Structure 1
């Protein structure tokens, strides 16, 4: 189970208090998308102390930093599929194969692609070279649409996504 939030939320709550609550809640990893890799030392020692992986992100703009980020990764690497803000996309055009190849040269940590994945076709395409697929905004959209009835629809959606990945 991985929790994703923003750095200022964790700072406001208190880093040690937040991470200790993550541990108590059996959260395995923490993703802070606005935390630059070079500033992770403000969080990493505390996360490590509580056994919570601080998940690193690799973006298309990471370029020469990919090897270093991959070499220090823990848990898994979150590979950002596209530039811009999160949300569903009609297509993903980033050359992720070269990014994943660089990751594979520098770590055995699994990598999962996210950011804009919303269809079974996109998930299947990402699974051809990544170890996992991350879907967020599409699930939030389903929850927003169906409110209290969302669990059934989210479950159906996840089953379809899982089926699309089952060939890998």
Structure 2
């Protein structure tokens, strides 16, 4: 493992398992974990609970807060795993301000994602899945990261990611 801090963003639409996979990766690597949803202001959560999709003006302060949290850990030399939908490249650009950042994009069949969303308690209603899928911009070739299929068990994904980040 390198001597400097590394930061991982587990990204994808709601229902893709970001929290479960992120926690598994953080545990495997011994990195600090943060749930991106915890950084949303109450207004954002209320908006989503009503079934209203967030707009960029809602997201900018949230993304800046996440990048700031990561930057603080980076200054301490602490590696992190953060969950964040990070649906667009411009959002990921903000997140990269926190330090050396690698993205794990969790992708899956829409029916599987919908099934997962309907089977959990969360402020994000299943009705917003289409909005998220419409907004999603997959990782570009210039963005450091990898894609993982959520049909695989979280532990298998965590093993693949850990192997990519720390092949030793």
The alignment's TM-score, normalised by the length of structure 2, stands at 0.35
Question: Which is higher, the Rg of structure 1 or of structure 2?
Answer: 1
Which has the higher relative contact order, 1 or 2, with Cα contacts under 8 A spaced 6 or more apart? 2
